[in-house]
Structure 1
Amino acid sequence: MITSHIYHLVLKRQMTKLNAYQQTYSCFIDILFLSISLGCLFFILLGTRPLFVPDEGRYAEIIREMVNSGNYITPYLNGIKYFEKPNLFYWLGSLAVYLNGLNLWSIRGVNALLALLGCLFTYWIASKCYDRATGLCAALILGTSSLYFVMAHMISLDLTVTFFITTCLYTFLLGYQELSADKRNNYLFIAAACSALAVLTKGLIGIIFPLMVIGLSLTFIRKWRAIKQLPLLSCIAIFLLITIPWHALVQWYNPEFFHFYFIEQHILRYITTTVGHYQPVWYFIPILIIGFFPWVVFLPQTITTCLSSWRMQHHSTAIFFLVWATSIFLFFSFSKSKLIPYILPLFPPLAILVARYLVHHHTHRRGIKIGYIFLIFFSIAIACLFYWYTKHIVLPYPTMAALYLNIAGALLVIGSVVSYLWIQHSQVTLSFITILVTMWLFLLILLAATPAIDTRTIQPLAFTLKPLLQAHDEVITYNQYFQDLPFYLKQRVSILNWQNELSFGMRYQHTKQWMINDADFWQRWNSNQRIFVVMSLDEYAHFKQKHPIIQAYFIDKTIANILISNKKRSYNA
């Protein structure tokens, strides 16, 4: 009897070890699969397309100037102080340049890597809160969401701040659910550090969003007393230890920093329209529909299911994710300043909620079928839009654009129809896989098409101009600032009659040498110095009409812009 009891204890212990090994092995396989599939999605073609303007041109140039000057405290744009955003992304970009050289792949690789890590963390948190299938689906849904994919390939702060806010809230949730005090504290310390890094990426939303989501979630589940168990003083100390040094240093070297950064770029930007980017309160509704495509077709069913199960036993996790997505969406909806990527931080919780719905409520055939039907209609509309676009818009490479966009549209329609046929035959997994493969190909084809449809890039003119430049030549942008031009030329440019976001820094620097007016322009144009001028074709037509006797020598042009010079040398008139 005793022998039998010992045998069962040993067997149970061995089975426990075996289960732990199997779970670890399954987790390793999942991470490897996600890293390869999503890594290819994020890194393929990463450095092939030109910089999107204005954002990519702006932030790439700030990084270039930071590396070139060695000043990692005060950011500069075209030689002028630029305090609209903190420095962490610029530091990460500078590190990438240090490791792999100054090129688009290096700088874009920062967000591509963080996007991949964000998907892996989403898999991890969804697996711990729910199960392995939900974790896999959530990571794949997030990675193939249209806006998340786009921002993973952009030189921009939005993906970076999304990663740190997401990691902060993920680790808080794990800490809140953890029974061991030591593990709970470690999770919360990581959450505090990630919140601080989010602040260093894009400002106060890095602390506002975590506090807002956590506070509202605890209010809804009536667990405010749980705060007493949290190491608040230690978390505050970690947060301040990370955030204070740069803010103190930049204020020390630039006394004008505080008011502009905190008052104008945070408070006034949110509550007034003076900063710009004003959009109506409903602006983010269509952005969410497009940005969360194709998974948005399952979002109404997901939210309805969450609300209907509000009072079920294990509802606090779903409430946390729902509050997270809803509160950030509403926060930005009531902001006076709105830009498309602002709502990116609500995509991770939405991906988890939709994944849970598809995995655990696939018996709700009617709701899922309705989603697939809408997916077909959306796909047909997108295919038609692509066809119309290639027929009615003047593009740099119309034949190539038509080929890529029409293939992408046809692929999307075929994939959505096939996925619906699978669901009709109760093949839920095959239907999901079909959407994934379709989106994987669709997104990469669109990425390959971007050079053929990008009408705003100055890259072709910059590549023509760069080998012509000599030591004393000057490059002037006429009545506007081409944000990507300094990065391609790897030098500062002179700007005629344009200040905009550079106006604040100009108040505290002597910029007369390169921020010029009409009198300066004509003095330099008529001098012995060789001047290259980049302007839009509309500006050039106005220029020729207003100054018909002025001899301007044509060098090159695109469908939107032109490059001219005041000296003939080897150019054709």
Structure 2
Amino acid sequence: MSTSPATPTTSRARPAIAWIAAIAVVMAFAFLGSRGIWDPDEGRYTNVALNMLDSGDWLNPQRTDDTGHWTKPPLTYWLIAASVAAFGQNPWAARLPIALSYLACVYLVWRLGRRLLPGSESTAATIYATLLLPLGAAQLITTDFPLTALQTLAVTAFVEARFGQGRAYGWLALMWLAFALAFLTKGPPGLLPLLAIVVYQFLLPQPGGRRVLSISGLVIFVVVALPWFVAVTTRHAGLLDYFVGAEIAGRIASPDFGRHPEWYGWLQIYAPTLVLGSLPWTGTLWRWVRTLPADLRRWRDPAVRREQAPLLLLTVWVLVPLLVFCIARSRLPLYLLPLFGPLALLAARQRHRDGAARPLGAWLAGWVLLALVLKAAAAYWPTHKDASVWAAAIRERAPVPVTEIVFVEDMARYGIHLHLDAEVEKISLQPIDGPRFNPEYDEDLATELRESEGEPGAIWIAKSERLAQIRAAIDANGHVLEPLGTPFRGRTLFTVHRKGAAPAAAPGADPAAADRDGRQ
């Protein structure tokens, strides 16, 4: 396979590029702001980003004013916060960085195809733009798509340094910058493609080429990636131990996170993700998988490895991170999202290898239409995950403008923060005796009651089946529970006030009557 520099884009290729761009833009932005924020994942990320905007503290990710959120480095929060600051507090703005990450990946896959698979770049970009998993993830607020875009940028820079004829130093500097930003997005998992690059360089050394692991590259990485970690670990005693022990070692070797840690968990999660996530190109990729054992045997010969250098790189880029994901005991489908870039390139090469592959035509248009229907269904299908529905129910029952939402021993729906511009907390009935970093509860009941004195805009939410127990606990702390309207999805909304004080007036209520009721 040729490893020569890409040929210039011809006039014949321009219509294909225009169609790819049109498909990608439609897929990125269709229904982007049509649904509310979904809890738990979207709610957590938007809540932390909004807390950064509200407090002006962009250094310390905060779940509430008193509770830090240290599960991820800050880059995704920064992107969401910047987008909301620029375009307003709405779901469209919160999801914009994710949609742009998807578009960046489509372009980078096209560029990688032009360099590694000349003549197949449009097919590769089309495949990536229409793969089911990237399409689904393109409008879901997590760290995974920003991470994927940065990792793909890093590999693209490496490819330009290795296979191009430009100045390798500049491309390698960009590679290290992208890996540093990937590290600021998700920590050590951001460096998995770097491990694949190191394995590739070992299998196929480049005589006289610039070394990937260089002092200058490490300096770029340290200067960009580490200052935030140094700043927060020096300010918060014990945080470094938490990062290393829980967020790194724990996710690799511990079942504590409950993310399919069983020995067969990798097969249970990753096999369906690869099969369904690669639709409608699953058959093409299956044909590549069937050829893989023969390719691996041929690559024992260094001459064959040199001849098939691009194919070797793409294969290593898939297999090395996949092996790590299978070994680690924390497993989720979106962990594999960064692998769909090289998989799209491998699928494009496989179509070229097949020779008689059917043309991209009406069937692909049908798939694009089906994908739009699925996006519309996700936007408008009723679900308990939609924080905007909860926000509407709260607004309907609230006697005064809402400033705080308190969930009592129930799942905190942090996505409500974006829709009501109100702080969201999760509290425990009993005193908190848990981990210092990322505890399950933000506060205990007694502390919250003391802090919410004189806060008429606080709305409390609890499961209706536990209301008697919660009422008794609130009463024991010298307060009174006042239900608001009918229950909503098995939850009772209520306000709390000190015994002898008047409750907040309901919409349209007589303040004098409320005052008389409070004195009785």
Do they superpose with TM above 0.5? yes
Q: Specify the code of the residue in structure 1 equivalent to 2:160.
A: L
Query: Does the 8 Å CA contact 2:95/2:140 hold for their aligned counterparts?
Result: yes
Q: Measure, in 1, the Cα distance between the counterparts of 2:403 and 2:344.
A: 52
Match of 2:485 among 535, 555, 565: 555
**What is the CA distance between 1:119 and its match in structure 2?**
0.6
RMSD between superposed Cα atoms in Å: 3.5
Corresponding residue for residue 336 of structure 2: 343
| Aligned twin of 2:406 | 476
Q: SS at the partner of 2:361?
A: helix
Judged with a 3 Å threshold, the aligned counterparts in structure 2 of structure 1 residues 359 and 41 are, in CA distance, closer, same or farther, namely: same
Partner of 1:257: 239
2 CA distance for matches of 1:528 and 1:241? 44
Amino acid paired to 1:314: E
| 3-state SS of paired residue (1:77) | coil
User: Structure 2: any 5+ residue segments left out of the alignment?
Assistant: 1-5, 299-303, 497-502, 510-520
Q: 2:70 aligns with which of 72, 79, 83?
A: 83
Q: Aligned equivalents of 1:268 and 1:356: distance in 2?
A: 38
Q: CA deviation at 1:486?
A: 2.6
Percent identity over the alignment is: 21
How far 1:230 moved relative to its partner? 4.7
Shift in CA distance, 100/524, structure 1 to aligned 2, threshold 3 Å: closer
Q: 1:200-256 deviations in whole A, cap 9, x for unaligned?
A: 11101222x1332012223334x2756665571221121112112222222333333
Determine the structure 2 residue equivalent to 1:324: 317
**Is it true that 1:173 corresponds to 2:159 in the alignment?**
yes
Question: Deviation string for 1:447-474 (max 9, x for gaps)?
Answer: 2112324222232231242474647975
- Does 2:115 align with 1:115? no
Instruction: Find out whether 1:492 has 2:423 as its counterpart.
Output: yes
Task: Please report how far the alpha carbon of residue 173 of structure 1 lies from its aligned counterpart in structure 2 after TM superposition.
Answer: 2.0
Whether contact under 8 Å (2:39, 2:387) holds in the other structure is no
Which residue is equivalent to 2:515?
none
Q: Does 1:93 align with 2:64?
A: no
Aligned 1:356-505 pairs, distance under 5 A: 356-363=349-356, 428-429=358-359, 432-450=360-378, 451-466=380-395, 468=398, 470=400, 475-480=405-410, 481-497=412-428, 503-505=435-437
Query: Which of the residues 257, 268, 276 maps onto 2:250?
Result: 268
Give distance in 2, aligned partners of 1:437 and 1:229.
44
- AA aligned to 2:195 is M
The reply to whether residue 295 of structure 1 matches residue 295 of structure 2 is: no
Contact 1:325 1:349 in 2 (8 A): yes
Which residue is 1:63 aligned to? 49
TM-score normalised according to structure 2 size? 0.82
Q: Which amino acid aligns with 1:555?
A: G
Matched residue count: 476
Q: Look up the match of 2:222.
A: 240
Residue by residue, what CA displacement relative to the aligned partner does 1:117-138 show, whole Å, maximum 9, x if unpaired? 1111101111221123x21121
Post-superposition Cα deviations, 1:382-411, rounded to whole Å, max 9, x if no partner, equal xxxxxxxxxxxxxxxxxxxxxxxxxxxxxx
Residue 102 of structure 1 pairs with residue 89 of structure 2: yes
Aligned residue type for 1:253:
R
User: Is it true that 1:153 corresponds to 2:153 in the alignment?
Assistant: no
Q: Distance in 2 between matches of 1:440 and 1:156?
A: 24
Structure with bigger helix share is 1
User: In the alignment, which residue of structure 2 is the partner of 1:373?
Assistant: none
The 3 A distance-change label for structure 1 pair 485 and 264 is: same
Change in CA separation of 1:253 and 1:24 when aligned onto 2, cut-off 3 Å: farther
Residues 1:521 and 1:81: Cα distance change in structure 2 (over 3 Å): closer
The Cα shift of 1:345 comes to 1.0
Cα distance in 1, alignment partners of residues 184 and 111 from structure 2 = 25
Name the SS for the 1:274 alignment partner: coil
The structure-2 alpha-carbon separation of the partners of 1:523 and 1:210, relative to structure 1 and needing over 3 Å to count, comes to: closer
Gaps in structure 1 of 5+ consecutive residues: 1-18, 369-427
Is contact 1:476-1:534 (8 Å) kept?
yes
- Deviation by residue 1:415-434 (Cα, 9 ceiling, x = unmatched): xxxxxxxxxxxxx11xx333
Q: Distance in 2 between matches of 1:50 and 1:139?
A: 30
Deviations 1:537-572 (A, max 9, x none): xx2134258869997534355546453446584479
Partner SS, residue 461 of structure 1: helix
Deviations for 1:352-394, whole angstroms, at most 9, x for unmatched residues?
101111133133xxxx7xxxxxxxxxxxxxxxxxxxxxxxxxx
Task: Tell me, in whole angstroms, the C-alpha distance in 2 between the residues paired with 1:228 and 1:107.
Answer: 40
Q: Are 2:39 and 1:49 aligned?
A: no
CA distance in 1, matches of 2:399, 2:238: 36
1:425 corresponding residue in structure 2: none
CA distance in 2, matches of 1:547, 1:254: 36
What amino acid does structure 1 have at the position aligned with 2:168? Answer: R
Once residues 231 and 26 of structure 1 are traced to their aligned partners in structure 2, the CA distance between those partners, rounded to angstroms, is 40
User: What is the distance in 2 between the residues matched to 1:473 and 1:53?
Assistant: 19
Q: Is the 8 A contact 2:403 2:423 kept in 1?
A: no
SS state at 2:423 partner: coil
**Alpha-carbon distance in structure 1 between the residues aligned to 2:492 and 2:471:** 17
Is 1:281 the counterpart of 2:266? The answer is yes
Query: Which residue identity is paired with 1:195?
Result: F
- After TM superposition, the structure 1 stretch with the greater mean CA deviation from structure 2, 474-483 or 341-350, is 474-483
Cα separation, 2, equivalents of 1:294 and 1:515: 47
TM-score normalised by L of structure 1: 0.74
